[in-house]
Structure 1
Amino acid sequence: MVLETERLILRKLEETDFERMFLMDSDPEVMKYLGEPVATKEESKEVIKMIQKQYEENGVGRLAVIEKESGLLIGWCGLKLLTSPINGYVNTLDLGYRFIPEFWGKGYATEAAERILEYGFNELNANAIYAYADSENAGSKYILGKLGFEKTGEFDEDGVICFWYELKREKYSKK
């Protein structure tokens, strides 16, 4: 599966993406609201294998975001099926994204997420798509608001207050 936007290509993650994934996931600024940075390239390879397993088992997973101009992996964005409960929700689609800092502030997360939402609602026929973010993560809160998500709650995840967001099909189709 390959999705495109004006500036981006979204495709399944490949084993060869591990170096760019490591560049992103080992950066303390990227991981500030997400947990511990990865310490080795092997960990990045394992993350890719885990996401590839999600493609096989659930039909969805985070996708590599490739900048057309440079041909570089600049992050990932996509839907993940929540198979373990988060905030009481399970078997729902979760939107997520993560980018290498030099590509922040250029509208890439919004552009990629808009294409993913289009895919989720129009091709997967989702009735709702959810997202969550650390309550301190101003960047994610801004992007989710811009995409039309509504904050519908908050919950504690391992001692961190997270905001829960949802975007219903009806609201999306009116955008």
Structure 2
Amino acid sequence: MNRTTFLETERLVFSTWNEEDRALASALWGDHEVTKWISSKGFLSEDEVEARLTQEIKRQEEVGVQYWPLFEKDSEVFVGCCGLCPYSPEEEIYELGFHLTRDYWGKGYAMEAARAVIDYAFGELKVKALFAGHHPDNEVSRHMLSKLGFQYVRDERYEPTGLMHPSYLLKKE
């Protein structure tokens, strides 16, 4: 794999997005089954996928985090992304997020990736807490955040969907 790996788990390697990743971004954020959870219209246009990729690249350059692309260690196949974005930087709170391609749903990859990112956030970045939210109808994400130890705090409006999303915090032990 001729990508830079900066984090890995038993089955996954984390890289960083770059301009050559348009096809990967499109495979993920161009899939209506993935984006129905993160967009009010249920999908992202090609331009919106391109903007999302650009936003991730820019966030890495500016603040050193992004929703990093994930690859299966053995096959090098693209699995999705998992990572961080600033939520309340002045309080040292980052947001955890993950989006997986449909072929990798239900295989434990999101949990594995999220645990690695949580360890990275608290260990390397020394954040005080992690925020996470999910679409109100996404029971899988709700269950996963609970298993990761996140505590429900409130419903919060999420602009991209226009809905009130259940929101959670995970504080450093």
Judge same fold: TM > 0.5, yes or no: yes
For the 8 Å contact 1:93–1:129, the answer to whether it is kept is yes
| Residue 95 of structure 1: aligned partner | 96
| Residue 6 of structure 1: aligned partner | 10
| Residue 49 of structure 1: aligned partner | 54
| Residue 168 of structure 1: aligned partner | 171
Task: Report the AA paired with residue 18 of structure 2.
Answer: E
For the 8 Å contact 1:12–1:63, the answer to whether it is kept is yes
* Aligned equivalent of 1:69, options 56, 74, 77: 74
Q: Distance in 2 between matches of 1:3 and 1:155?
A: 31
2:16 aligned with 1:15, yes or no? no
The aligned runs of 1:26-45 (5 Å cut-off) are 26-35=30-39, 36-40=42-46, 42-45=47-50
Task: Report the AA paired with residue 16 of structure 1.
Answer: E
Q: How many residues align?
A: 165
**SS of aligned partner of 1:30:** helix
Identical counterparts, % of pairs = 33
User: What is the TM-score when the length of structure 2 is the normalising length?
Assistant: 0.87
Q: Is the alpha carbon distance of 1:26 and 1:90 closer, same or farther for their aligned partners in structure 2, counting shifts above 3 Å? A: farther
Q: Which runs of 5+ in 2 are unaligned?
A: none
RMSD: 2.0
Task: Report the AA paired with residue 115 of structure 1.
Answer: A
For the 8 Å contact 1:20–1:74, the answer to whether it is kept is no
| Residue 127 of structure 2: aligned partner | 126
For the 8 Å contact 2:68–2:83, the answer to whether it is kept is yes
Q: Distance in 2 between matches of 1:15 and 1:90?
A: 32
Task: Report the AA paired with residue 32 of structure 1.
Answer: K
For the 8 Å contact 2:136–2:165, the answer to whether it is kept is yes
CA shift at 1:29, angstroms? 1.1
Q: Which runs of 5+ in 1 are unaligned?
A: 171-175
CA shift at 1:45, angstroms? 3.3
For the 8 Å contact 1:9–1:68, the answer to whether it is kept is yes
| Residue 28 of structure 2: aligned partner | 24
CA shift at 1:91, angstroms? 6.3
The aligned runs of 1:104-115 (5 Å cut-off) are 104-115=105-116
Q: Distance in 1 between matches of 2:44 and 2:163?
A: 20
Q: Distance in 1 between matches of 2:38 and 2:130?
A: 20
Task: Report the AA paired with residue 37 of structure 1.
Answer: F
- More divergent stretch after superposition (153-162 vs 3-12): 153-162
1:42-75 deviation digits (Å, cap 9, x = unpaired): 5433322211111121121110011112212210
